[in-house]
Amino acid sequence: MMRSNSKALNQAPLRLLTAVATALTLAATASRGADDLRYNRDVRPILADTCFRCHGPGVQKAGLRLDTREIALKPTKSGAVPIIPGKADESEIVRRIFATAEDEIMPPPKALKPLSAEQKNIVKRWIEAGAPYERHWSFEPPRKEAPPSVEGPNFRINNPIDAFIADRLKREGLTMQPEADRETLIRRVALTLTGLPPTLQEVEQYLGDTSSKAYENMVERYLFSPRFGEEMARHWLDVARYADTHGLHLDNERQMWPYRDWVVRAFNDNLPFDKFTIQQLAGDLLPNASREDLVATGYNRCNVSTSEGGSIDAEWIFRNAVDRTSTMAETWMGLTAGCAVCHDHKFDPLPAKDFYSLYAFFYSIAGPAMDGNALLHEPSLKLPTAEQEAKLAALDKQLNETNSEIAQKYQALAYNDPAEVAASAPEKPADDPLLSLRVWLKKGGGDQAKDAPADLKPLLQQAKDGKLNADGEKRLREHYLKTVCTTTKAQFQPLIEKAANLSKERTALDSSIPATFIFREMPQPREAFVMLRGQYDKPGEKVEPNTPAVLPPLQKAGARASRLDLARWLVSPEHPLTARVAVNRLWQQVFGTGLVKTSFDFGTQGELPSHPELLDWLAVTFREGGWDVKGFMRMLVTSATFRQSSRVLPDVLKRDPENRLYARGPRFRLDAEQVRDNALYVSGLLSLRMGGKGVRPYQPPNIWEPVGFSGSNTATYQADKGEALYRRSLYTFLKRTAPPPYMANFDAPNRESFCTRRERSNTPLQALQTLNDVQHFEAARALAERIVVEGGTTPQDRITYGVRIVLARKPDADELAVLQEQCLKHLDRFQRDVEAARKVIQAGESKPRPGLPEHEVAAYTLLANTLLNLDETVTRN
Amino acid sequence: MHPIFEHQLLQTRRQFFGNVGLRAGGIALGMMAAESGARAATTERVHPPLPGFPHFTPKAKAVIYLHMNGGPSQLDLFDYKPRLHQFFDKDLPDSVRNGQRITTMTSGQSRFPVAPSKFKFPQCGQSGMRVSELLPFTQKIVDDIALIRSVHTNAINHDPACTFVMTGHEIPGKPSIGSWLSYGLGSESNDLPAFVVFTPAWPSSGNGQALFTRMWSSGFLPSRYNGVALRGKGDPVLYIENPPGVTSTDRRLMLDSLRRLNQREFDRLGDPETQTRISQYEMAFRMQSSVPELVDLSNEPKHILDLYGPKATTPGSFSHSALLARRLVERGVRVVQLLHRGWDQHGALPTALKNQCEDTDQGTAALVMDLKQRGLLDSTLVVWGGEFGRTVYSQGTLTPDNYGRDHHPRNFCMWMAGGGIKGGVVHGETDDFSYNIIDKPVHVNDLNATILHCLGIDHEKFTFKFQGLDQKLTGVEHAKPVMEIVA
């Protein structure tokens, strides 16, 4: 958190402007009509790139500042008026940019930023049209414009997305690629929607479907697969910063996987995004909040926490609230609000007061500031199943019955202390403490004192010292007669044992019931203040919960705004950001890059959208369509834009290396989890069991150990056994200070904070992992066994089968020849070296299938290892 | 991606793999053996330089960048201020601070008492350069180093300052200097990555700030120019060993097939990432031999190990990393970066800084001496420094023996040695409080321009078209190499 604060604290305005300027190029569009000029899209990029550096918020040479209309319309030091709306020829900046004399022309030649004739004319025309400035684009409400009509043989329009994309392509002089072949498409769709490749049966079904709706039918199957929720959740959990440890200092385990499972269910049940928002941000405040509503509030509890000695409560209440506020702002609004923790945001209209007004919504969580290094950090919620609940009730009932039976028996008990015989009695008074309460008391419990319950021990001492009061004597008497006295205890013993067993059973059952962190409000909210310069102990002005002034006003249900009001405000139709930010992330998930590439920043430092009209159209459509996430995903993957071949021609690659114009289909490397899940799935090893506590798959030694504190319960890593090794990566235990290397290696975030866009690196270390890591190599062995058992008898048939499983397509003749040549050499070698073959097939914990020729399995293991390492395999093509 | 350069690179790579590699899985192995320990001939390079690079004859071929993460105190190490003692516990004059921003960590302090360094600064070497008693080994190499006392940066906190010093920008997403260099100059090694990173252990007394992978990542450059981090513990590189039963010959056979299939994939779809992947698999294979050889110190003579000190053979220590840095440069690696944490002394500075120095000083000096005696210092640029300096005023407790210092971006010290740098030189000067630069300021961009210059690159001409702009390591404002320290 502190990191992002400081980031903005230090940003030199000039450099930022450059960054903004940089970001604009893609948005700059091909020529448009004069009446179509827009400040944000057409004019600001020119000014930002060439003028603001010396005449902007940072520096105002000659007293000239062009980024603010009011100032730009006033005379500068020289008396000249930079901009006179409607009178371009009288405006000083027009005179200067069209000047020819070296000491007149702007920008000055030494800046090496000459304006093109077209740029000069845009500025001129804009001033002629009244020089209308616009607010930053993302604060204006999205406008749903009619999709352009585009025609031509090179454009296929399946839905409005394609119209917007094609319109831009046409203006750029580019065309769409033809549709990809069916094998590519089904794999692309399956990986996009479920994170797993298609099975052979699914491929065959699709290829065999001759109906005109074959593609749509195929898409439906994946949209309604339970795997859909898992894949969607994976992306959301990056945003929500979900992990299985606290993240700081000891980095101990925490229990909130029920929240993770809630997210999976929410996507599978197609919970509308507005409800999805409200439940996570304020489920606890909903009327009659259900258990699910409460579990959902775990979103607000995923922040890192600490219990390090010396930590100050006030500081951590502050820091946790800052984290929750910033994460909320980035998740739903794409605002890097963290900057305003220390000062007014320098580039976005977010004063510190607005930040702390948002923060006030999150400042009054019930429960301690410190996590206590415990599994559960209050507030939390127990989540028994109905069966567990019944069992608990039954145990409680039995326990009660047993206890009252004991009480009754004790009531009925007649005990005469044998030490209290009449002086006249013939027998001597007893002196055995096991027979006489009085003797036992006098001896302070004697030999049995050490076995007495802790709360009775002081009483025994008092008895010994003769200082026992009546109440103490009563308690000791009961204990004595029930458990010590030889003549009475026998009748209690079985009952006491029964009660102890019941109570032990209850404790065991209770502790087996999972719980999860939730958010609850304190009965009396804390007063919140602007914290001066972001210091937890420097309260300034008092603030009430409220939303930023630059955005539409908040509707309050009560006198004091609640988190529920905030959540409803976010998904209200007036909000300019929420829908845009949400659809942009979904677009990014499907196409690899957002329409706004900086999907974490829709502020002025972020990039402009590559297709602003499309983004707005999508945002409004999503909102008006009831925030239907599945429906939205369906629209994206059924677009012709998505269905294009990803083949790229060299000249298009030069024009658009990042495929921001979509003149080809998306093609990019699988994410970390997908790389592993894919290998496990095609090999048949993957367990599709859903939900539950995080599992610990294979991990090389010395990942946790070097960073682990010795007192931490996650200091040493012990891999699980059996099925847990093969669960989907979504369920891998995530230790924040030492994330699983198979994830980090492929750019998965460590979940310490919000992450909305992963990098996609391409490194030799990734190659080494997929070649050599036991989980990939074991998968290769299992795949080899499938190939040998199911794939026929000839190498040709088997290789073909292997390629079909892995790539959803048949190999061509050349590929087959390459693989066959390789395979025969492996076969030959392992036939000669059975010892090596035996080692090869022993990889991992799962045992090789019995009865298969070892040299064959070994040879096909290397073949399968090859298939699993193909560029095509680790890529969504 | 620069289209023309990229095209030529692809062509080169294509030839390599298409004509040499394909026929000769075996040859690649043989070639590797022959090249082991020697810089590969330029003509056979897998990662050739960009056309036209270097721009002029370089002084240095490689860089070893020792980054002391957290902000080492210039006042206690290199910026000798004898007159400060008169000001002990006196308020820093307003005329000095001049209303400059300070971090939130001390901005709440009621006063800013001056904390003179408690350490002695003897004159050292022929040059008589003054270096703190905390750095007895560095004192021995002063005649090889150019000390810059006037480096300044834009950022005042760790994250942006680290990002700035390594990428020339505070905002993440730009390539690190190591990535720029490996992009422009390629690699002289065919079997090790062009750019290698170490993150050695640091003393427990050190205040260890987080490191960021963006300090060695490629930003908008193709991802193959990412630095490769070597691990101190466990396998130096994860998953470097073949699975049981699989030999290097098996692997080669398999990779030949993989490469042919991937090449077909590239021919079909034309995605440059496929080309990158092909080269990364080949690199992975070569690393399987080169990495074990690299970390095997059994052939290092005792006097060399002694030079690097008692931790020379302890994997993950600074000295061990420094020794490996030398071995990497010997093997043709272009850039080696050591990021040593723990230099963020807000409090209890004297004790903690001493530990930091003890952890690194001997290894640092040994590296320079070792390179020199091998004749490699002439062609290797060694850079030492952090992301900013520290304040003259104390944070927290102040006694003559105990004080802390806050972040100070306005001036700090770095030094360079070797390839193209004059030895025994001090550049730039600060005021009596080491608070403002009074002579020859060197901005981080100037420093990076100097590094590029030593490697034969004109930083103004080293650009990459991205998002419509000609992006540079050295930013948009005019930067210039510090020619006074260039030999």
Q: Provide the residue type at A678 as one letter.
A: N
| Nearest CB to A25; choose among B246, B284, B468 | B468
The domain tally of chain B equals 2
Task: Name the most confidently modeled range: A44-58, A88-102, A742-756.
Answer: A88-102
Q: For residue B9, name the pLDDT band (cuts at 50, 70, 90).
A: very low
Q: For B445-460, write each residue's pLDDT tens digit.
A: 999 999 999 999 999 9
**In 3-state terms, what secondary structure has residue B197?**
strand
**In 3-state terms, what secondary structure has residue B37?**
coil
Tell which of B246, B274, B294 to mutate to test the A interface (max A CBs under 10 Å): B246
Q: Of A86-95, A290-299, A523-532, B4-13, give the lowest mean pLDDT range.
A: B4-13
Tell me if B281 sits within 8 A of B17, measured CB to CB. Answer: no
Q: Are residues B255 and B390 in the same domain?
A: no
Report pLDDT for B468: 52
Report pLDDT for B421: 97
In a domain, B330, yes or no: yes
Report pLDDT for A518: 98
Vertex A325: Cα angle to A319 and A330 (nearest 5): 125
- pLDDT at residue B322 tops 70: yes
Supply the ipTM of this predicted assembly.
0.85
Report pLDDT for A347: 55
Q: Give the A window 21-80 contacts with B, CB below 8 Å.
A: 21-26, 28, 53
Q: Of A728-737, B381-390, B467-476, give the lowest mean pLDDT range.
A: B467-476
Tell which of B105, B156, B277 to mutate to test the A interface (max A CBs under 10 Å): B277
- pLDDT at residue B325 tops 70: yes
**In 3-state terms, what secondary structure has residue B484?**
helix
| CA separation for the pair A229, A235 (Å, rounded) | 10
Specify the DSSP element, H or E, that contains B230.
strand B228-230
Report pLDDT for A533: 76
Q: Are residues B114 and B5 in the same domain?
A: no
Contact A6 B270 (CB under 8 A): no
CATH of the domain at B338: 3.40.720
Residue of A391 and A310 predicted with greater confidence: A391
Task: Name the most confidently modeled range: A142-151, A341-350, A707-716, A810-819.
Answer: A810-819
Residues of A in contact with B226 (CB under 8 A): 761, 763
DSSP B252-308: HHHHHHHHHHHHHHHHHH--HHHHHHHHHHHHHHHHHHHHHHHH--TTS-HHHHHHH
Report pLDDT for B212: 66
- pLDDT at residue A290 tops 80: yes
In a domain, B251, yes or no: yes
- How close B378 gets to chain A, by Cα (Å)? 31
Q: Are residues B181 and B251 in the same domain?
A: no
Q: Are residues B102 and B186 in the same domain?
A: yes
CB of A872 within 8 Å of any CB in chain B? yes
Residue of B15 and A753 predicted with greater confidence: A753
Residue of B344 and B98 predicted with greater confidence: B344
Q: Are residues B198 and B56 in the same domain?
A: yes
Residue A586, classified by CB atoms within 10 Å of its CB into exposed (0-12), middle (13-18) or buried (19+), is buried
**Mean pLDDT across chain B:** 87
Neighbours of B429 (CB within 10 A): 15
Provide the phi-psi class of B357: left if phi over 0, else alpha when psi is between -120 and 50, else beta.
Answer: alpha
| CA separation for the pair B45, B333 (Å, rounded) | 12
Q: For A431-485, write each residue's pLDDT tens digit.
A: 888 888 888 888 888 887 888 888 888 888 888 888 889 899 899 999 999 999 9
| CA separation for the pair B109, A247 (Å, rounded) | 30
| Nearest CB to B233; choose among A657, A702, A760 | A702
Report pLDDT for B229: 82
In a domain, B220, yes or no: yes
- pLDDT at residue B171 tops 80: no
Residues of A in contact with B104 (CB under 8 A): 342, 533-535
Provide mean pLDDT across the span A303-328.
87
- pLDDT at residue B154 tops 90: no
Place of tokens 């000062």: A343
- How close A170 gets to chain B, by Cα (Å)? 20
- pLDDT at residue A860 tops 90: yes
Measured on CA atoms in the order B301, B306, B309, B314, is the torsion positive or negative?
Answer: positive
Q: For residue A225, name the pLDDT band (cuts at 50, 70, 90).
A: very high
Neighbours of A510 (CB within 10 A): 13
Residue of B277 and A417 predicted with greater confidence: B277
Tell me if B450 sits within 8 A of B485, measured CB to CB. Answer: yes
Q: Which tokens belong to A671?
A: 């994410």
Task: Name the most confidently modeled range: A404-413, A667-676, B96-105.
Answer: A667-676
Report pLDDT for B39: 40
Q: Are residues B125 and B16 in the same domain?
A: no
- pLDDT at residue B23 tops 80: no
Residues of B in contact with A872 (CB under 8 A): 261-262, 265
**In 3-state terms, what secondary structure has residue A76?**
coil
Tell which of A1, A3, A4, A6 to mutate to test the B interface (max B CBs under 10 Å): A6
- pLDDT at residue A103 tops 90: no
Number of H helices, E strands in chain A: 36, 6
Report pLDDT for B466: 67
Q: For B90-141, write each residue's pLDDT tens digit.
A: 999 888 887 776 665 666 677 889 999 999 999 999 999 999 999 999 999 9
| CA separation for the pair B80, A236 (Å, rounded) | 53
Residue of B172 and B21 predicted with greater confidence: B172
Provide mean pLDDT across the span A705-727.
87
Q: For residue A424, name the pLDDT band (cuts at 50, 70, 90).
A: low
- pLDDT at residue B361 tops 90: yes
Percent of chain B with pLDDT over 70: 86
Q: Give the A window 536-555 contacts with B, CB below 8 Å.
A: 537-538
Residues of A in contact with B477 (CB under 8 A): 14
Report pLDDT for A825: 97
In a domain, B403, yes or no: yes
| CA separation for the pair A563, A521 (Å, rounded) | 9
Q: For A333-373, write each residue's pLDDT tens digit.
A: 998 776 667 666 555 667 889 999 999 999 999 999 999 99
Q: Are residues B212 and B350 in the same domain?
A: yes
Of A581, A590, A588, the closest CA to residue A638 belongs to A590
Q: Are residues B81 and B23 in the same domain?
A: no
Q: For A484-541, write each residue's pLDDT tens digit.
A: 998 899 999 999 999 999 999 999 999 999 999 999 999 999 999 999 877 788 899 9
Neighbours of A532 (CB within 10 A): 17
Q: Which tokens belong to A173?
A: 């002089």
| Nearest CB to B226; choose among A607, A669, A761 | A761
Percent of chain A with pLDDT over 70: 92
Q: Are residues B221 and B319 in the same domain?
A: yes
Provide mean pLDDT across the span A584-599.
96
Contact B244 A840 (CB under 8 A): yes
Q: For A169-196, write each residue's pLDDT tens digit.
A: 999 999 999 999 999 999 999 999 999 9
Tell which of A10, A51, A648 to mutate to test the B interface (max B CBs under 10 Å): A10
- pLDDT at residue B444 tops 60: yes
Kindly identify which residue of chain B lies nearest to residue A6, measuring between CA atoms: B157
Kindly identify which residue of chain A lies nearest to residue B174, measuring between CA atoms: A19
Residue of B57 and B7 predicted with greater confidence: B57
In a domain, B289, yes or no: yes
Contact A761 B223 (CB under 8 A): yes
Report pLDDT for B202: 86
Q: Are residues B136 and B62 in the same domain?
A: yes
In whole angstroms, what separates CA A540 from the centre of its chain?
34
| Nearest CB to A870; choose among B1, B223, B261 | B261
How many interface pairs between A and B have CB atoms less than 8 angstroms apart?
A: 239
| Nearest CB to B475; choose among A15, A649, A870 | A15
Instruction: Give residues with Cβ within 8 angstroms of B47, minimum separation 6.
Output: B182, B186, B187, B190, B194, B279
Question: What residues make up the domain containing B285?
Answer: 1-35+247-297
- How close B185 gets to chain A, by Cα (Å)? 19
Vertex A91: Cα angle to A89 and A97 (nearest 5): 85
Q: Are residues B403 and B444 in the same domain?
A: yes
Measured on CA atoms in the order A627, A628, A632, A633, is the torsion positive or negative?
Answer: positive
In a domain, B44, yes or no: no
**Mean pLDDT across chain A:** 90
Residue of A279 and B193 predicted with greater confidence: A279
Report pLDDT for B18: 31
- How close A4 gets to chain B, by Cα (Å)? 8
Report pLDDT for A818: 98
Tell me if A803 sits within 8 A of A867, measured CB to CB. Answer: yes
CB of A310 within 8 Å of any CB in chain B? no
Report pLDDT for B3: 43
Neighbours of B265 (CB within 10 A): 22
Q: Are residues B229 and B367 in the same domain?
A: yes
Q: For residue A6, name the pLDDT band (cuts at 50, 70, 90).
A: very low
In a domain, B307, yes or no: no
| CA separation for the pair A118, A581 (Å, rounded) | 33
In a domain, B103, yes or no: yes
Of B380, B369, B422, B425, the closest CA to residue B149 belongs to B425
- pLDDT at residue A38 tops 90: no
